[in-house]
């Protein structure tokens, strides 16, 4: 193996400087990438974010079709609206208008 290999890249350490605690399982935007907190990350501390795989995330009202590109909005909810939001990935399964969550393959 190459000596400059660091890690597989499916997790990254992240320092929470948002001014609020991040709850385990919450999605956060780190630049143009979305990560999901593996555990609670209190403000001012460092924790681990997942940067791959499928996660069940809170969504805004409205149906989302399977395969649709989705985005993380400023309220940390999944939406189909691109404007002013960070691309989160795509809807791995469909979600009905009344569903509170959607399964998202992040960063895909």
Q: Is the pLDDT of residue 1 over 80?
A: no
pLDDT in tens, 81-104: 999 999 999 999 999 999 999 999
The whole model's pTM is what? 0.92
Domain boundaries, the chain: 11-50, 54-106
Q: Give me the long-range contacts of 31-40 (CB less than 8 A, separation at least 24).
A: 32/86, 32/87, 33/86, 33/107, 34/72, 34/86, 34/87, 34/88, 34/89, 34/106, 34/107, 35/106, 36/106, 38/11
- Pairing label, strands 54-58, 46-50: unpaired
pLDDT of residue 25: 97
pLDDT of residue 102: 98
Per-residue pLDDT band for 2 (boundaries 50, 70, 90) equals: confident
Per-residue pLDDT band for 30 (boundaries 50, 70, 90) equals: very high
The radius of gyration of the chain from alpha carbons, rounded to an integer in Å, stands at 14
């Amino acid at each position: 193996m190459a000596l400059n290999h660091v890690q597989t890249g499916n997790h990254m350490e992240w320092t929470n400087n948002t001014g609020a605690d991040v709850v385990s399982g919450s999605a956060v935007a780190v630049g143009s990438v979305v990560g999901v907190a593996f555990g609670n990350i209190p403000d001012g501390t460092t924790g681990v974010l997942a940067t791959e795989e499928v996660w069940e995330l809170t969504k805004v009202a409205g149906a989302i079709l399977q395969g649709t590109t989705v985005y993380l909005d400023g309220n940390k909810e999944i939406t189909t609206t691109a404007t002013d939001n960070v691309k989160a990935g795509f809807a791995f399964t469909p979600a009905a208008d009344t569903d509170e969550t959607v399964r998202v393959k992040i960063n895909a």
